[in-house]
């Protein structure tokens, strides 16, 4: 595998914050900064289903692909290691050798810099609203809404409509109803 400009995330789910980061990565490549391919890396690819990780790596890849709508980007799955100091060398087995990492995460920046990667740090956009846990909580509340177009409209505030439609059409939001941390189910 050749070096690439990588974007690494859990994408649980793929939301507008991720869109902003990937669009910035595309722009970075488009203004002549690199002839590297864009490689989107789905982290925690092996994670067991939970409220924090409700979608499989394959489902998250489908979310990204429906949003990409044919744009050129590679997608790879990267399992966790549980050992931050050795994570980058582990991840390179899945996303390739040192190239450029495009990230909004300070911890990832530090780890990749120490591993001799070129790091491009991007600003977080609308972080207060576009956080995975907040979007999952909203989806958990919407998991009992039976009117599909209403649910899609509500989700499209925080994620691309194509991704919201994929999630609703496949009933993926309903599993959040049963993945709570205890107590009464939402709804």
Question: Based on the domain organization, do 31 and 105 belong to the same domain?
Answer: yes
How many other C-beta atoms lie within 10 A of the C-beta of residue 121? 13
Residues 84, 157, single domain; the answer is: no
Q: For 24-44, write each residue's pLDDT tens digit.
A: 999 998 876 678 899 999 999
Question: Within a domain: residue 148?
Answer: yes
> What does the pLDDT look like over 36-91, one tens digit per residue?
899 999 999 999 998 889 999 999 999 999 999 999 999 999 999 889 899 999 99
Q: What is the pLDDT of residues 107-125, one digit of tens each?
A: 999 999 999 999 999 876 6
Mark whether 95 and 166 lie in a shared domain. no
Q: Is residue 58 in a domain? A: yes
86 within a domain of the structure (yes/no): yes
Range of the domain at 75: 5-121
Contacts 24+ apart (CB under 8 A), 155-159: 158/15, 158/16, 158/129, 158/130, 158/134, 159/13, 159/14, 159/15, 159/16, 159/19, 159/135
Least confident span in 58-62, 137-141, 178-182: 178-182
pTM recorded for the entire structure: 0.88
Same domain, 116 and 137: no
**Could you give the number of structural domains in the chain?**
2
Same domain, 111 and 137: no
| Whether 93 and 136 share a structural domain | no
In a domain, 183, yes or no: no
């Amino acid at each position: 595998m050749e070096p690439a400009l990588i974007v690494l995330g859990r994408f649980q789910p793929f939301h507008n914050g991720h869109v902003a980061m990937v669009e910035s990565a595309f722009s970075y490549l488009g203004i002549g900064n690199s002839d590297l391919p864009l490689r989107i890396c789905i982290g925690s690819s092996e994670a067991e289903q939970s409220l924090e990780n409700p979608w499989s790596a394959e489902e998250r890849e489908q979310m990204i692909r429906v949003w990409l709508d044919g744009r050129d980007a590679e997608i790879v799955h990267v399992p966790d290691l549980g050992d931050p100091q050795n994570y980058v060398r582990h991840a390179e087995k899945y996303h390739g050798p040192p190239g450029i990492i495009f990230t909004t995460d300070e911890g990832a920046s530090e780890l990749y810099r120490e591993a001799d990667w070129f790091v491009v740090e991007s600003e977080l956009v609308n972080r207060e609203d576009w956080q995975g846990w907040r979007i999952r909580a909203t989806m958990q509340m919407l998991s009992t809404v039976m009117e599909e177009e209403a649910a899609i409209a509500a989700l499209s505030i925080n994620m691309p409509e194509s991704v919201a439609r994929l999630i609703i059409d496949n009933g993926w939001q309903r599993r959040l109803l049963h993945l709570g941390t205890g107590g009464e189910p939402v709804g």
